[in-house]
């Protein structure tokens, strides 16, 4: 039993260090400034033999801190500046869709992402947790992530996208995310003097719209975003 547990922990640590890579190696594209390293944490369940379970995310999350820190150190080796644009060294896209991540795993993941921001290592640009088992407690963990990473003066490094469709979030969990965004004063100032709302997807959850609608007027209720229609 102990040896099996050690093997599992070792494989999860290997996964943590193997899943962090330059973002243009995965799907291309910027997101940060010229001084930022663009990274992806790629835990997409479709890329594995089996989806990651909730307890896997709990065990994996602490290793992700070291993995991102090491990746940033490697990418920034030899650069003149020790910090990038926006007060952080890297910008992260976190792909954890198509797994069995529930509340405990979501909270553990968000705690790690908060710690990365607090240590000025990396800021989350987009969080992909669609097609998981996230409930209201997990949604509250995401709300804490939004609040904790909304650092004044560095609005360009705030969370820009949260993808949570096909989960088990109710109106209460959705409201906690809305309240966090509102308290953080989204829409955030953006390049060129414009404003950028947080892009939040919550379709196919357990949300009663009648209970939710009264919380919506202060927020941006976009019907279209580019070529995406909802």
What's the pLDDT tens digit per position in 117-132? 999 999 999 999 999 9
DSSP state of 41: E
State the pairing for strand pair 122-128/161-163: parallel
- Average pLDDT of the chain is 84
Q: pLDDT tens digits, residue range 140-178? A: 999 999 999 999 889 889 999 999 999 999 999 999 999
Determine the pLDDT at residue 213. 77
Beta strands in the chain (DSSP E): 20-22, 37-42, 90-95, 122-128, 161-163, 188-189, 195-196, 199-201, 224-225, 228-229
CB distance 136 to 169 below 8 Å: yes
Determine the pLDDT at residue 2. 38
Determine the pLDDT at residue 1. 46
pLDDT band of residue 211 (cuts 50, 70, 90) is: confident
DSSP state of 100: B
Higher pLDDT, 81 or 197: 197
Kindly tell me if the per-residue pLDDT of 27 is higher than 70: no
Higher pLDDT, 223 or 208: 208
230 half-sphere exposure, CB direction, 13 A CA radius: 14
Higher pLDDT, 195 or 216: 195
Architecture field, domain 2-229: Alpha-Beta Horseshoe (3.80)
CB distance 94 to 109 below 8 Å: yes
CB distance 122 to 116 below 8 Å: yes
Residue of 185, 87, 96 whose CA lies nearest to 133: 96
* Domain boundaries along the sequence of the chain: 2-229
> How far is 60 from 225, CA to CA, in rounded Å?
34
CB distance 129 to 93 below 8 Å: no
> How far is 142 from 160, CA to CA, in rounded Å?
13
Among the ranges given (6-15, 33-42, 129-138), the one the predictor scored with the smallest mean pLDDT? 6-15
């Amino acid at each position: 039993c102990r040896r099996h547990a050690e093997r599992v922990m070792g494989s999860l640590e290997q996964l943590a260090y193997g899943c962090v890579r330059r973002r243009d190696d995965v799907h291309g594209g910027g997101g940060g400034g010229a001084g930022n390293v663009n990274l992806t944490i790629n835990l997409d369940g479709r890329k594995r033999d089996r989806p990651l379970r909730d307890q896997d995310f709990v065990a994996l999350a602490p290793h992700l801190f070291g993995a991102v820190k090491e990746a940033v150190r490697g990418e920034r080796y030899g650069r003149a500046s020790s910090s990038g644009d926006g007060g952080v060294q890297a910008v992260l896209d976190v792909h954890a869709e198509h797994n069995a991540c529930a509340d405990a795993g979501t909270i553990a993941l968000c705690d790690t992402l908060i710690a990365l921001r607090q240590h000025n290592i990396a800021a989350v640009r987009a969080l992909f947790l669609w097609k998981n088992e996230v409930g209201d407690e997990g949604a509250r963990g995401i709300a804490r992530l939004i609040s904790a990473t909304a650092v004044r003066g560095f609005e360009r490094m705030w969370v820009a996208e949260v993808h949570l469709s096909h989960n088990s979030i109710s109106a209460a969990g959705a409201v906690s995310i809305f309240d966090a965004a509102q308290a953080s004063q989204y829409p955030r100032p953006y390049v060129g003097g414009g404003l950028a709302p947080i892009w939040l997807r919550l379709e196919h959850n357990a949300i009663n719209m009648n209970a939710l609608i009264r919380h919506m007027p202060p927020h941006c209720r976009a019907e279209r975003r580019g070529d995406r229609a909802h």
